[in-house]
């Protein structure tokens, strides 16, 4: 079954935040985050999908999520590009 790893972004009063996760159903998961039943750290904000990768199975998506959570420079670049700040 295909798995996805994704990065969400949200503009908050404290600045622009990102969140990394994995799922089997990307649309459903984004809806969960925005309805307040997603991860605890995403509650209370409106999130948009800023990056996603498709993987052949959930295990590979979970492995990639582990790496993306630690890749702060990628997350900063994604946040800057979404905000129109370039590099």
All domains in the chain, ordered by first residue: 3-82 (3.40.1440)
Q: Are 20 and 65 in contact (CB under 8 A)?
A: yes
Mean of pLDDT values over 54-73: 96
Alpha-carbon dihedral sign for residues 31, 36, 38, 43: positive
* Mean per-residue pLDDT of the chain: 90
87, pLDDT greater than 60: no
CA separation for the pair 4, 13 (Å, rounded): 29
Query: In which band, very low, low, confident or very high, does the pLDDT at 86 lie, cut at 50, 70 and 90?
Result: low
């Amino acid at each position: 079954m295909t798995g996805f790893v994704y990065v969400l972004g949200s503009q908050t009063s404290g600045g622009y935040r990102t969140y990394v996760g994995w799922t089997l159903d990307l649309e459903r998961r984004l809806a969960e985050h925005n309805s307040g039943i997603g991860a605890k750290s995403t509650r209370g904000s409106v999130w948009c999908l800023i990056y996603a990768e498709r993987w052949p199975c959930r295990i590979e998506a979970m492995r990639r999520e582990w790496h993306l959570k630690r890749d702060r420079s990628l997350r900063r670049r994604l946040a800057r590009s979404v905000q129109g700040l370039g590099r």
